[in-house]
Amino acid sequence: MTQPGTPIAWPLRLWLIIEVLFSVGAILTIALDPVNTRDRFAWTIEPVVMAAVLGAYYVAAGLVTLLPVFARRWEMIRVMILPTVLFTGIELVATVLHWDTFSAGTAGFTVWFLSYLLPPPILLGSYLWHEQRARRSGKAISWDPLSLEVRRTLLHIGGLTTLLSILIFILPQAFLAFAPWQVTPLSARVFAGFLLAAGTLMLSMWHENDRSGILMGVPLLLLMFPAVTLQIARFSDQVNFANTALFLIYGIMLVAFVIGVHLARGDWRRAFR
């Protein structure tokens, strides 16, 4: 009979609740009202479809932020921790690189800055501490490995998405020439951060290799495709639908969606026990 795993320490649980508040704030502003980023967000995003798409990724990440609050064991939320560290870290770098573009001093910018300044050290420290506790306790949990085909898909698509995000972040000017709508270097780098989150999450799932242990990240794979599609449909007149980059990004999201549908059939009760 297996032991229950490692409990989530209260400081991390408290921070997970704060992350939910950051997520709700982003959804209520840029996702629901992408037209008014000048007044309500950290910087003015144009065209509006770019703001709407960034907002779609906040919507897709909403459940990934919320569900871990209700988990009891570290092993059930571990899959999302390092991808979140990388995502928030790269968005912080983008903020520093384009500091003059932001509406510094406004409430929107303050929330944006804190939401990317604080998570990397807090989550990385929590990751190292919980992993040390898990090793010391020697507690084991039952293991339900993924199929070889699913792991290969996660590795290949996750690796491709991660590589694409790194290239866009390093060479935003090159992405500008291929983007399906007008993009600035800042919005390209912020968009690259969301791609990095999705790519590294799939790689983390590949590494975790446990159907219950990866469930907290599955909603992101499921929701990216419909959320982005809905936001693009709202401002379709600003989109070049014959664009090759759009087909590539949609192809990645579609494969992620299919994987998400498959993985969502895991044991959710075990994930929250």
Residue position matching structure tokens 């790689």 = 203
Cα separation values, 177 from 53, 116, 182, 214, Å: 18, 28, 9, 36
The CA distance from 106 to 120, in Å, is 23
Tens of each residue's pLDDT in the chain, 273 residues: 344 689 999 999 999 999 999 999 999 999 999 999 998 999 999 999 999 999 999 999 999 999 999 999 999 999 999 999 999 999 999 999 999 999 999 999 999 999 999 999 999 999 999 999 988 876 556 678 999 999 999 999 999 999 999 999 999 999 988 999 999 999 999 999 999 999 999 999 999 999 999 999 999 999 999 999 999 999 999 999 999 999 999 999 999 999 999 999 988 988 888
Classify 7 as helix, strand or coil: strand
Q: Are the C-beta atoms of residues 227 and 53 closer than 8 Å to each other? A: no
Rg (the chain; Cα; Å):
18
CA angle (132 as vertex; 128, 133 as ends), nearest 5: 120
Classify 72 as helix, strand or coil: coil
Residue 17, C-beta contacts closer than 8 angstroms, at least 6 positions apart: 69
